[in-house]
Amino acid sequence: MSAEPAGRVLIASNRGPVSFSLGDDGKLTSRRGGGGVVAGLSAVAGRAEVLWVCAALNDADRAAARAAPGGRLDVSLSADGAGRPGPESGAGLGGPESMVRMLDIPALVFDRAYNGVANSTLWFIHHLLYDTPNRPLFGLAFRREWESFRAYNAAFADALAKGAGPAIPGATARAGTRAMVQDYHLTLVPRMLAERRPDLAIAHFSHTPWAPPEYFALLPDDVAREVLEGILGADHAGFHAQRWADAFLDCCEAVLGAQVDRVARTVRHAGHTTTVGVHPLGVDAPQLRTRAAADDVQAHVTALTELAEGRKLIVRIDRTELSKNIVRGLAAYRELLITWPQWRGRVVHLAFAYPSRHDLPEYREYTASVQRMAREIVDEFGTEDWDPLVLQVNDDYPRSLAAYRLADVLLVNPVRDGMNLVAKEAPLLSERGCAVVLSREAGAAAELAEGALLVNPYDVSATAQALHEALSMTDEERSRRAALLAQASASCPPDQWLAAQLSALETAARRQPA
């Protein structure tokens, strides 16, 4: 990291850098958390004293949190990746005091906050997912969920306030300790924390898109205000893309009547100024390439190469998530085979859609729709010696990396997405330089527009047309675009992403009156 943070850094995220499971023998085993966000945030661990506060997500996590002395988990935060559970403490990696604190929030409160508000309400709002003739319906049940959401956010604010150490009397946010609060789950935390600890510099980062004001206004008025005022408790609010930052400013103006300066990108509300920044997250290319060269990935490369039998591969890899638009993606593949029958027998679609949020009925139904559509395509076009589509619904990271390496075309068509790192990972690994068909509604489209074929994710015929163009592209054109894609994907890797936020927070905190 270029910016050298001093003092303590507090990180708060719903999903932490480690998770636990309970074996048949009743023993707890731990797994490191994956993904770019955890890797990005872990990058700070080598440079500063870190306290990472996260929620216990299931019974095994709760048991581990209860068993941890003083709530401190036996987890090392390493700069080279994520939380690494182990016998040793955090000493030596993130400084002697670095640690993870997993909050044992009562299961019912957690369920209402995480499933009811975060994933069924705020996620739906920011991704424009509601079937509006029927939902949302904000009644008494929602009010119970909202109370739990407040309690869950307050638990984080309390833990952060306590973990920040003794307050410096009379100090303002100019002091050394910084808190970096992540995502829509914790939208109320910045304000709650600022009230408890005015001496901290606080940043919030949204990993999702932000809804336009008309759609944001579906929320009950008081809830809409509380969400915005929650984030405005921070000194700095970050987003992956300009569009989402602009939408946030629009909402602050429309809903709160806040004073918005679009040039300086600041919001002034209730006597406090929040700066708003765009910090797109990229991929750690050397680390990804090293991982993709490992033996377990190579074994999948061999298996998938045999499966393809020399045919071109269209690859997609997603959580089975409503916003990922998998059903329309499959419909586009079907149209490709109908409109351009020359591809029949010459292409295979690998669709890896791994399970996500199965506590929510909408997600279970969506998984069923994906499977139904996949069966229909196989029935309609499959022959004795050609499987047009291979749908895998289990998570297998080495197999996903192998698919990236072999892809001729990558399809990423979310209806809306904060960033989408799949669109950035595949170009860095694909051996033939894959063409990328990308939704214009993904945050990544801002950086990948020159190299990708952008599509309207609702337009299935246009997506089919883009798939046809991608498959038909000359080698020169594909290589030209692949080079642009790889370059854009590797810029702003997690450590730089984090450093940019810390330095923006530094500047923002200095603006606050002493």
Residues near ligand G6P, by CB under 6 A = 15, 119, 183, 207-208, 356-357
Among residues 195 and 359, whose Cβ is nearest to ligand G6P? 359
> Cα dihedral angle (416, 57, 47, 421), rounded to 10 degrees?
-20
Please state the closest distance from residue 388 (CB atom) to ligand G6P, in A: 30
Among residues 110 and 343, whose Cβ is nearest to ligand G6P? 110
Residue whose entry in the numeric block shows the structure tokens 């008081």 = 222
Rg (CA), the chain: 23
Per the structure block, which two tokens stand in for 21?
């499971």
Task: Report the candidate in 41, 56, 137 with the shortest Cα–Cα distance to residue 493.
Answer: 41
Per the structure block, which two tokens stand in for 118?
């975060």
E-strand ranges in 115-228 read 178-182, 201-206
Please state the closest distance from residue 490 (CB atom) to ligand G6P, in A: 20
Among residues 277 and 443, whose Cβ is nearest to ligand G6P? 443
Q: Dump the DSSP string for 279-293.
A: ------HHHHHHHHT
Among residues 247 and 406, whose Cβ is nearest to ligand G6P? 247
Environment class of 263 (CB within 10 Å of its CB; exposed 0-12, middle 13-18, buried 19+): exposed
Among residues 29 and 58, whose Cβ is nearest to ligand G6P? 58
Phi, psi dihedral angles at 452 (to 5 degrees): -90, 170
Among residues 324 and 468, whose Cβ is nearest to ligand G6P? 324
Among residues 208 and 367, whose Cβ is nearest to ligand G6P? 208
Please state the closest distance from residue 359 (CB atom) to ligand G6P, in A: 10
DSSP assignment, residue 198?
A: T
Please state the closest distance from residue 354 (CB atom) to ligand G6P, in A: 11
Among residues 258 and 322, whose Cβ is nearest to ligand G6P? 322
Among residues 183 and 199, whose Cβ is nearest to ligand G6P? 183
Q: Dump the DSSP string for 396-456.
A: -HHHHHHHHHH-SEEEE--SSBS--SHHHHHHHH-SS--EEEEETTBTTHHHHTTTSEEE-
Please state the closest distance from residue 13 (CB atom) to ligand G6P, in A: 7
Three-state secondary structure call for residue 151: helix
Please state the closest distance from residue 323 (CB atom) to ligand G6P, in A: 9
Please state the closest distance from residue 35 (CB atom) to ligand G6P, in A: 7
Closest residue by beta carbon to ligand G6P: 207
Among residues 160 and 377, whose Cβ is nearest to ligand G6P? 160
Please state the closest distance from residue 295 (CB atom) to ligand G6P, in A: 28
Please state the closest distance from residue 368 (CB atom) to ligand G6P, in A: 19
Please state the closest distance from residue 336 (CB atom) to ligand G6P, in A: 28
Task: Report the candidate in 290, 289, 291, 192 with the shortest Cα–Cα distance to residue 232.
Answer: 192
Please state the closest distance from residue 422 (CB atom) to ligand G6P, in A: 11
The angle subtended at Cα 508 by Cα 162 and Cα 514, nearest 5°, is 70
Q: Provide CB contacts within 8 A for 211, sequence distance 6+.
A: 125, 126, 128, 247, 251
Residue 359: in which H helix or E strand, if any? none
Burial 220-250 (b: 16+ CB within 10 A, else e): eeebbebbbbbbbbbbbbbbbbebbbbbbbb
Among residues 207 and 468, whose Cβ is nearest to ligand G6P? 207
Residue 168 near residue 145, CB atoms below 8 Å: no
Phi, psi dihedral angles at 413 (to 5 degrees): -125, 45
End-to-end Cα distance, the chain = 28
